[in-house]
Amino acid sequence: MLENIMTMDKQYYMNTFGTRTPVCFDRGEGVWLYDTEGGKYLDFFAGIAVTALGHAHPALVGAINAQAAKLIHTSNLYYTEPQTMLAKMLCEVSCADKVFFGNSGAEANEGALKLARIYFYKKGMPNKTDVITLKHSFHGRTLATVAATGQPKYQKPYEPLMPGFSHVELGDLDALKAAITPNTAAIMLEAIQGESGVHPCGQAYMAAVRKLCDDNDILLIIDEVQTGIGRTGTMFGYQQYGIEPDIFTVAKALGGGVPIGAVCAKEAVCAFEPGDHGSTFGGNPLAAASGLAVLQTIQAENLVQNAADMGAYFADSLEKLKSKYSCIKEIRAVGLMVGVEFGEGLGAAVKQALFEAKVLTGLVGDTLRILPPLVITKADIDMFVDVLEGIVKTL
């Protein structure tokens, strides 16, 4: 079956992902994925931080089935209870006062950028349109979010880029201050840079950025697409730093695998009025019911605390491994967002060996990128570390 699917994919699917990893999954359960050939894989990537509850969690499956049997979609011309209740719950667990739903992280970030611009436009400051982001960041693949993303490899094919974006190095406050102009509307950053190999912003830096925004009438937008919904051991990544954004975005884990994104904002900056923004599918009953089930299950099963506890255990286990093997250069971890950086160009070989051992991870450069479901246990972590040590020994 795998060969047939690979052949058809090559013929019919636009080749945006290159030669994919040669496996086809058709079901999952908990931290495990099963392929069409009968293989069983330990999933420590969670669909790039999406399947926070693991695979086929009964609460999420039940909510999807029940909602699909009642109502999948109407339109945003009408009220639906799941959308309203999910917006309420997101505000209750965060600093936000209002929420707008889209379908993805890129859409959420696009909405946040539009909100920042229209906020100043309606304040009579139409020239405040520019946004500062960080180098090595990732904010999405729409034309605006590609321009916001601080990685030239994603931008080059789409030049000339949308104007109004500048990029500075993470941690360089002098560069950030120098980039601010009277036209700067927002500073947009990830609480922890994920796509560049798990790089936390740090508390002192985030506090300084918040102050810069306050002192210069600039909005702080935090991209929580990957760090939100318990991943870091707090419900949102910004809570690691003791600051609050004016706007933040969330997606990935919010729907547990059902596509959904959200722009979340303080009341003072909610400048959208009827006709200013919209979405056909955003926050439809199926997606919103999925988001509600995810948040309710995270609370009922105490998964934010589990992410903190298992993250600490995982980081400690990996640090012990690092002390034994010099090819492991650095462990970077916040909750269950983990990067293991290798030297000597070994990262790709380690990732491939893990796949051959039926363990799934990601890779950025020479850094193994690990994003397991929030439901993992110490036994799952021990299994992963044992396999990893065997591979490192061999290599």
136 phi and psi angles, rounded to 5 deg:
70, 10
Report how far residue 337's alpha carbon sits from residue 307's, in angstroms, rounded to the nearest whole number.
9
**Of 337, 333, 390, nearest to 359 (Cα)?**
390
Among 43, 130, 223, 380, the one annotated catalytic: 223
Tell me, yes or no, if 252 is annotated catalytic. Answer: yes
**Alpha-carbon Rg for the chain in angstroms:** 21
Among 101, 252, 366, 384, the one annotated catalytic: 252
**Of 201, 199, 210, 229, nearest to 108 (Cα)?**
229
- In the sheet with 359-360, reading across from the earlier edge strand, the strands are 25-29, 32-35, 40-43, 359-360
Amino acid letter for position 252: K
Tell me, yes or no, if 215 is annotated catalytic. Answer: no
Report how far residue 181's alpha carbon sits from residue 360's, in angstroms, rounded to the nearest whole number.
44
Report how far residue 219's alpha carbon sits from residue 203's, in angstroms, rounded to the nearest whole number.
18
Q: What tokens were used for 268? A: 């003072």
**Of 234, 251, 231, 255, nearest to 243 (Cα)?**
234
* Helices and strands, number each (H, E), in the chain: 13, 17
Tell me, yes or no, if 138 is annotated catalytic. Answer: yes
Amino acid letter for position 117: R
Residue 304 makes CB contacts below 8 A (sequence gap 6+) with: 230, 233, 234, 235, 298, 374
Among 44, 45, 138, 248, the one annotated catalytic: 138
CB 129 within 8 A of CB 185: yes
Report how far residue 288's alpha carbon sits from residue 72's, in angstroms, rounded to the nearest whole number.
10
Report how far residue 145's alpha carbon sits from residue 356's, in angstroms, rounded to the nearest whole number.
35
Report how far residue 136's alpha carbon sits from residue 150's, in angstroms, rounded to the nearest whole number.
5
Q: What tokens were used for 288? A: 């919103």
Query: Measured between alpha carbons, how far apart are the two ends of the chain, in Å?
Result: 32
**What residues act catalytically?**
138, 223, 252
